[in-house]
């Protein structure tokens, strides 16, 4: 009986030891499972940086609006008024389309040109002028904003746009509001070439060097 009792006690000890070992292995595997996501997070690569994109500091440094002289600011607002006057000219022309067609039909001396052809051609021309005034107004606003920031190339583009506007309204299509738009664009261009404005735009060249 003593031998049987010792044998039973030995078996119980082995079972207990095996159970503790399994529990320890389970705890270790559980702890490893909990730690694995943390290691994955630590090894996760950082988001790539794009050096070609300007940072907030770079954009702030490139914005020289606060340094713009008074004449540049006056030119900036004149470009907006010139664009608005051009759009108004297009609207007035569109509103007077029927009257313009009637006058052209009455003044027509070409027998091969029918009234329908005159109406179709005039309607197309009026709509093209109207859409052109909208496009030019948008370009005036865009490049005037850039010119106010000291971008020298914007001044050059605005000069070209002003020349086109003056030639169109003074030589091709004379309209009082259109002439006003061309005059304002011309004044705005001249203001961008004054000594103060020229000195302001020289800063754009120094930043590029």
Domain with 3, as residue range(s), is 1-34
Judgement on whether residues 29 and 77 belong to the same structural domain of the protein: no
| Residue 60, domain member (yes or no) | no
Task: Work out how many domains the chain is built from and give that number.
Answer: 2
- In angstroms, rounded to a whole number, what is the distance separating the alpha carbons of residues 182 and 169? 7
Judgement on whether residues 80 and 156 belong to the same structural domain of the protein: yes
Q: What was the pLDDT predicted at 66?
A: 64
| Residue 45, domain member (yes or no) | no
Structure tokens at 78: 């004149």
| Residue 149, domain member (yes or no) | yes
For 80-100, what is the mean pLDDT? 94
pTM above 0.75, yes or no: no
Q: What is the pLDDT of residues 114-166, one digit of tens each?
A: 888 989 999 999 999 999 999 999 999 999 999 999 899 999 999 999 999 99
Judgement on whether residues 105 and 161 belong to the same structural domain of the protein: yes
| Residue 204, domain member (yes or no) | yes
For 95-109, what is the mean pLDDT? 89
More confident call, 29 vs 80: 80
| Residue 202, domain member (yes or no) | yes
Judgement on whether residues 152 and 101 belong to the same structural domain of the protein: yes
φ, ψ for residue 149 (rounded to 5)? -85, -5
């Amino acid at each position: 009986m003593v031998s049987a009792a010792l044998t039973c006690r030995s078996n119980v000890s082995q079972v207990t030891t095996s159970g503790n070992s399994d529990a320890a292995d389970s705890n270790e595997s559980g702890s490893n499972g909990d730690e694995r996501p943390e290691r994955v997070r630590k090894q996760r690569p950082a988001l790539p940086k794009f050096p070609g994109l300007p940072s907030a500091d770079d954009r702030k440094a490139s914005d020289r609006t606060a340094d713009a002289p008074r004449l540049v600011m006056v030119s900036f607002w004149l470009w907006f008024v010139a664009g608005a006057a051009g759009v108004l000219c297009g609207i007035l022309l569109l509103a007077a389309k029927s009257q313009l067609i009637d006058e052209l039909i009455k003044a027509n001396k070409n027998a091969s040109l029918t009234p329908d052809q005159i109406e179709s051609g005039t309607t197309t021309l009026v709509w093209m002028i109207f859409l052109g005034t909208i496009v030019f107004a948008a370009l005036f606003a865009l490049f005037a904003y850039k010119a106010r920031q000291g971008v020298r190339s914007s001044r050059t583009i605005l000069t070209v746009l002003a020349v086109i506007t003056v030639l169109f309204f003074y030589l091709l299509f004379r309209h009082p509001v259109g002439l006003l738009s061309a005059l304002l664009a011309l004044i705005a261009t001249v203001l961008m070439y004054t000594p103060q404005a020229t000195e302001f735009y020289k800063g754009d060249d120094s930043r590029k060097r």
